[in-house]
């Protein structure tokens, strides 16, 4: 997923337009998380790492992964580089 736009630090969605950024509790733009993951200053869904992996498989397949297993493998490798999941990866590691 190489991209010059910032990526959501939870789901890796490219944030290439102002409406794609999440909002903090005061209504200001959050530069780390997208509009799907961050609403009113908190995560829209309290997912576990594994839930997030499974929830994102369809999006990664739409971007070119050929199978659920291929997408799952790539997501599991990439998500620990994102701010939301980095601590969870260290605990597992």
Q: What is the pLDDT of residues 12-51, one digit of tens each?
A: 999 999 999 999 999 999 999 999 999 999 999 999 999 9
- Read off the pLDDT of residues 55-74 as tens digits, 9 standing for 90 and up: 999 999 998 889 999 999 99
34 vs 3, higher pLDDT:
34
Q: pTM of the prediction?
A: 0.85
Which run of H or E residues covers position 85?
helix 83-92
Report the C-alpha gap between 27 and 18 in whole angstroms: 13
What are the DSSP calls for 10-51, one per residue? TT--B--SGGGEEE-TTSPEEEEEETTTEETTEESS---HHH
- CA 55 → CA 29, 68, 84, 93, distances in Å? 24, 11, 15, 22
What pLDDT is stored for residue 3 in this prediction?
54
């Amino acid at each position: 997923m190489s991209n010059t736009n910032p990526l959501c630090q939870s789901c890796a969605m490219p944030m290439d337009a102002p409406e794609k950024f999440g909002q903090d509790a005061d209504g200001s733009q959050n530069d780390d998380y997208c509009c799907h993951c961050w609403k009113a200053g908190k995560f829209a869904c309290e997912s576990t790492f594994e839930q997030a992996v499974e929830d994102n498989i369809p999006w990664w397949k739409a971007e070119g992964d050929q199978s659920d297993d291929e997408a799952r493998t790539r997501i599991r490798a990439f998500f620990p580089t994102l701010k939301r999941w980095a601590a969870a990866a260290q605990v597992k590691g």
